[in-house]
A and B are shown apart, each in its own frame.
Chain A
Amino acid sequence: MPLLEVTNLNVTYGVQRALNDVSLTVNEGEIVVMIGPNGAGKSSTIKAVGGILAHAGGRIENGDIIFRGKNIKGRRTDELVKLGISFVHDTHRVFPSMTVLENLEMGGYTLSGNAAVQRKIDEVIALFPRLGERKKQAAGTLSIGEQQMLAIGRSLMLTPALLLVDEPSIGLSPNFVETIFSRFVEINRGGTALLIVEQNTRKALELCHRGYVFEIGRIAMEGTHHDLLENRHIRSIYLGE
């Protein structure tokens, strides 16, 4: 049984249709990426899974989202967190007036006991030492790259079974992108499956086990790491070769 199974997902924003019968799966321990041009529906898909589509003004018209055999369509985000699904927005969305440390503590809100929270904070800071240097600083004063690290670090406070990340590299300098992508590999080695939307197609395909190519509201192609990297269509259109 796959960890996550999305079947025939249809999403609309008011009268505008954003997704047509999107189906995808993520298996236990896998890194899956979604690539494709702007407006193709990648964010809509990941937001539907993460339970924040309604906040963005969208609606699931049709389809099912099954996580570990349970239909989670329409669940609130805080309920999903308890099931083991964490979400990282493309716009970071840290708590700007709270310190880096408090942001991490909030990431561990559902953990019981201060010791467990502290242990996790140490782990996250080991993963992103920069956050340790900025501990006492208000999150709103961090650079974009640091806020992204904080948002990812915050989502790791719970060791999610599935981590959803929308456009982690957006607005980041190349070495920040390097750091964050190498952390994804480490996070994945720890047993977390990742579903990532990424604009940087080459990086995305190099990172993933499998990938989906979105085009205007539907999935145009899917395949493994090798399939997609070797595919002539992808090489010419997305990798510019």
Chain B
Amino acid sequence: MFTQLLFNSLIAGSIYTLIALGFSLIYRTVRFFNFAHGVIYTCGAYAAYAFINQLGFHPAAGFICASVCAGVVGSAVDAMVYKPLRRRKAPYLVLLIASLGAFIFLQNVILLIYSSQIVSLNTGPVKAGHLVLGGAITDMQIVILCTSLLLFAALTLFVRYTRLGKAMRAVSDDTVAAGVVGINPERIIGIVFFAGSVLAGAAGILTSLETGIEPTMGMTAMLKGITAAVVGGAGSIPGAAFGGMLLGCAENFGIWKLPAAWKDCIAFVILVGFLLVKPYGIVGKKD
């Protein structure tokens, strides 16, 4: 039982981590909670459905194309909605509400195209799981774990060592000073939205390897991602992974003793608890 719960925790946790990573990357650069992140997750899942089921792409190729699509949608939202607002020096709250507007708008576009019917990805016949240390884990779940780990490592190394990654950190440290050294902050912000949205899209696709795709799937995903990000300290990359894993464990081990209906509730108890006790998260600091 314990091993099974641990597997479930890691799988859920790695999805939350991916959502939180993109969310945090964007948050620390533009300093507002980008709620539209949730619908980008949905876009990723539907784009994968389009590439794999409708266009007959190989699942791996479909995964890559769909993630890029999600990235493009994310940076388009930035260019068309947030950038004009930034230019007018719109306050935090206006950007926050605009992002909710973008969420609702895009969710309805998806609803118009694909209707509210649940669809699922065509990834071959369902196979029985492998038994490892008394717990079952399927091939798809191994794919989810490995892909998440790979994306996490890639992002960490990218931000730490590459010129563009350093420029991203510079812009999030001080946008004006970034301009002073010759970085065009708007260009970097566009790239950050692209990268963060690719991660959200990838999370949406990985989720749909296991469950159905529906237009409203982004809302809970976004709330879980935000919880994970806040728990880890919004804006921190290792913090996002920590928060994601903590949330995954709390939910899955929580329902060991509690009725399963409490699962979502656990996330929000954690969120509110952290906001009250440690609003800057585990690794975050006041700025």
Interfacial residues of chain A within 128-169, with CB under 8 A of chain B in the complex: 154-155, 157-158
26 A-B interface contacts by CB (under 8 A): A50-B180, A52-B176, A76-B184, A78-B182, A78-B185, A81-B181, A81-B182, A82-B182, A86-B180, A87-B180, A88-B180, A89-B177, A93-B174, A93-B176, A94-B174, A95-B178, A96-B174, A98-B170, A105-B166, A106-B166, A106-B170, A106-B181, A109-B167, A109-B182, A155-B180, A158-B182
Complex contact A78–B169 (CB within 8 A) = no
Interfacial residues of chain B within 139-172, with CB under 8 A of chain A in the complex: 163, 166-167, 169-170
Q: What are the 9 closest A-B residue pairs judged by CB atoms, nearest first?
A: A81-B182, A77-B179, A110-B182, A95-B173, A93-B177, A78-B184, A78-B179, A106-B170, A106-B181
The interface bits of chain A over 180-217 (1 if a CB of B lies within 8 angstroms of the residue's CB, else 0) are: 00000000000000000000000000000000000000
Query: Which size bracket describes the interface of B in this complex?
Result: 10 to 19
Asked if A97 CB lies within 8 Å of chain B CBs, one says yes
* Chain B residue nearest in CB terms to A54: B89
The interface bits of chain A over 53-91 (1 if a CB of B lies within 8 angstroms of the residue's CB, else 0) are: 001000000000000000000001110011000111100
Complex contact A98–B166 (CB within 8 A) = yes
Distance A51 CA – B185 CA, assembled complex (angstroms):
14
Complex contact B174–A78 (CB within 8 A) = no
Since A81-B181, A88-B180, A93-B180 are in contact, a sample of 4 more A-B pairs with Cβ atoms closer than 8 Å, ordered by chain A residue number, is A93-B176, A95-B173, A97-B173, A105-B166
Q: Which residues of A contact B169 (CB under 8 A)?
A: 95, 97-98, 102
Complex contact B183–A52 (CB within 8 A) = no
Asked if A36 CB lies within 8 Å of chain B CBs, one says no
Distance A81 CA – B176 CA, assembled complex (angstroms):
13
Query: Which size bracket describes the interface of A in this complex?
Result: 20 to 34
Complex contact B173–A89 (CB within 8 A) = no
Shortest CB distance B177–A (Å): 4
Q: Which residues of A contact B182 (CB under 8 A)?
A: 77-78, 81-82, 109-110, 158
* Chain A residue nearest in CB terms to B169: A98
B contact face: mostly helix, strand, loop, or mixed: helix
* Chain A residue nearest in CB terms to B173: A95
* Chain A residue nearest in CB terms to B287: A96
Indicate which residue in B167, B176, B185 contacts A106 across the interface (CB closer than 8 Å).
B167
Shortest CB distance B280–A (Å): 14
Complex contact A95–B174 (CB within 8 A) = yes
Shortest CB distance B184–A (Å): 5
Complex contact B179–A107 (CB within 8 A) = no
Distance A87 CA – B181 CA, assembled complex (angstroms):
8
Q: Which residues of B contact A97 (CB under 8 A)?
A: 169, 173
Q: Which residues of A contact B184 (CB under 8 A)?
A: 76, 78
Q: Which residues of A contact B177 (CB under 8 A)?
A: 89, 93-95
Q: Which residues of B contact A155 (CB under 8 A)?
A: 180-181
Distance A155 CA – B181 CA, assembled complex (angstroms):
7
State whether A98 and B180 are in contact (beta carbons under 8 Å apart), knowing that A105-B166, A109-B167 are contacts in the complex: no
Q: Which residues of B contact A154 (CB under 8 A)?
A: 181
Complex contact A109–B179 (CB within 8 A) = no
Complex contact A98–B179 (CB within 8 A) = no
Q: Which residues of B contact A96 (CB under 8 A)?
A: 173-174
Shortest CB distance B66–A (Å): 33
* Chain B residue nearest in CB terms to A104: B181
Distance A154 CA – B179 CA, assembled complex (angstroms):
13
Complex contact B173–A107 (CB within 8 A) = no
Q: Which residues of A contact B173 (CB under 8 A)?
A: 95-98
